Amino acid sequence: MQLLVSVANAIDAGAALDGGVAIIDAKDPQAGALGAVSLAVFGEIRAAVANRRPLSAAIGDATDEAAIARAAFEFAAAGAVFVKVGFYGVASAAHAALLAAAARRGVVAAGTDSGLVVVAYADADEPTGIGPATLIDIAARTGATGVLLDTADKSGRGLLALIGPAALTAWVARAHACGLLVAVAGKLSSDDLPTVRAAGADIAGVRGAACEGGRHGRVTAERVRQLAGRCCGPPVPLKPDITAATGHGVAR
């Protein structure tokens, strides 16, 4: 299992690199669970990373097909290996599938090897979101590379307070059976990482646990180093192949 750290700027990215992170994720923590940084800030993060690790980018929760396709295109073209999109507030699975397909078209149009990651929220209740099981089906039908199980409310309970180990393991297994890369996040602490690893996740994503001062603080190399040590996975390749020897493209 690899460690993904969400960074808000180039300084965060440098600290994450120094701490031995596997994947760097560009995200604005002030703008919600999937707040997108500006393309200018993403460019600064990419320059700081200098191809030493793969980059992912959160692009928000989709509401409009044209807008999400454009955002997916822009971030894929700017160098994001993974583009993450959520569907908070979308009550219809059919609508979510159309939005996911639009995001996928944007990624493909960029002409890169980028992949789409669709995000399910463990704390989403109808009509505020699509359930995690449904998101796996949508991801598989729309050609997504992977799925992320996260929490929408960062002031609420963490993921493992919402879903038990057995249910998480079953969700991960179902996603893997569909050929999807699987990431898990949602206020994860260092103590949570062994449980997430045991559930079979390919990637564990953190923000607050990597920061001094919590989610809105700054990433520190020491915190990242401690977290990476509990994941025990080597960095993923810059252009990950989800059909690699592990079956899911990354070592777990």
Q: Cβ distance 5 to 224 under 8 Å? A: yes
The yes-or-no answer on residue 84 being catalytic is yes
The yes-or-no answer on residue 27 being catalytic is yes
Q: Which residues contact 149 (CB under 8 A, 6 or more apart)?
A: 119, 120, 121, 122, 132, 159, 163, 168, 171, 182, 183, 184, 185, 186
Q: Which of 27, 154, 187, 239 is catalytic?
A: 27
Distances in Å between the Cα of 240 and the Cα atoms of 82, 193, 245 are 10, 22, 12
112 has which bridge partners? Answer: none
Q: Cβ distance 95 to 63 under 8 Å? A: no
Q: Cβ distance 20 to 219 under 8 Å? A: no
Which residue numbers are catalytic? 27, 84
